[in-house]
Amino acid sequence: MTLDDLRVFVAVCRAGSLSAVARDLACTQSAVSQHVKRLERETGMSLLERQPRGVAPTAAGHILCDAAADGIAGLDRALRRLGDLANGESGTVRITTGGTTVRHFMAEAVVSFRRRYPKVSLEFRTETSSRSCFDALLASNLDLAWITIGGPVRGIEQRPVVDLPWVLAVRADDRLAARSHIDSSDLDRIRLVRLPPNSTSGTQLDAAFAELGIRSGSDTSVADWDTALLLAELGLGHAVVPAVPGLPVPSDGDGLRLVPIPALPPLSVGWAVRRWDALPPLARTFADTVADSCARPPLRAPGPDIAP
């Protein structure tokens, strides 16, 4: 049983496919299969079972995969910390997050961090949801994940950084554009550009709507907040989005207004890691730099007077 055998096995369990892992590793499917067969010979048990589409771990496979993933993650962290000790103030910080997060939450912090540590590389891996960020964090040697804070996740520690109030994005000529705030009754039966229902932010917004008795409809859904703003500006519906730092306001067309919705509980966002006490020093410094940057008040706050 080798470390490579365990790494490949964990990758197969995560992907549910021998061929997908073979493509990622630039090797043959037979080579991937040999890693799994060595583990099965060593344990004397079947670790994978074939399904109509791919493979899945058996009960024994689940036990080995969970143990191997934890062990590999710990070893990777140790090797990273040894590298940091050897290289001094050089190394790499690896972050996974959504496609628009760097612009909204990290732009200032990235510049500040690079000025302080010019020899440190920052690597960003884009994922489509907080759930995908959690999976990537558990399955690889990533340090940090910027996520929407939600319920507990096994093997993950979450740390809130900033709470974001919700706003309603409407065209400047909309009947709600001149309001100082939006009441929950204003949202009832309104047509919304909706966030993905399987996203943490979308799920939390739906739960808040249900608690307030808001019954809204939707003809359009999007994968990120910036697209929701654009579609609202194009008149395809209203958009309920969190007031993220540096919220872009389009400068063309009839303009956009962002009206606060105080009835909705704020959306909490922040960091997720495997273990804070095992986080490499450079990664911890970057996380703190981003948190400090988010704690400073924005240059302008979204409200009904925001216009192009």
Distances (CA, A) of 174 to 182, 193, 277: 13, 15, 50
Model pTM? Answer: 0.68
Tens-place pLDDT, residues 189-225? 788 888 776 778 888 888 898 898 888 777 777 877 8
In angstroms and rounded to an integer, the radius of gyration of the C-alpha atoms of the chain is 23
* pLDDT at residue 247 in the model: 65
Tens-place pLDDT, residues 44-97? 999 999 998 889 999 999 999 988 888 887 787 777 767 766 655 667 899 999
Closest to 70 (Cα-Cα) out of 278, 272, 284 = 278
* pLDDT at residue 192 in the model: 86
Q: Quote the CA–CA distance of 154 and 142 in Å, as a whole number.
A: 17
Determine contact, residues 194/274, Cβ cutoff 8 Å: no
Strand order of the β-sheet with 217-221 is: 217-221, 191-194, 238-242, 166-171, 256-260
Low-confidence residues in the chain, pLDDT < 70: 81, 84-90, 197, 246-254, 297-308
Strands 238-242 and 166-171: antiparallel
* pLDDT at residue 159 in the model: 95
* pLDDT at residue 249 in the model: 53
Q: Side chain identity at 131, as an amino acid letter?
A: R
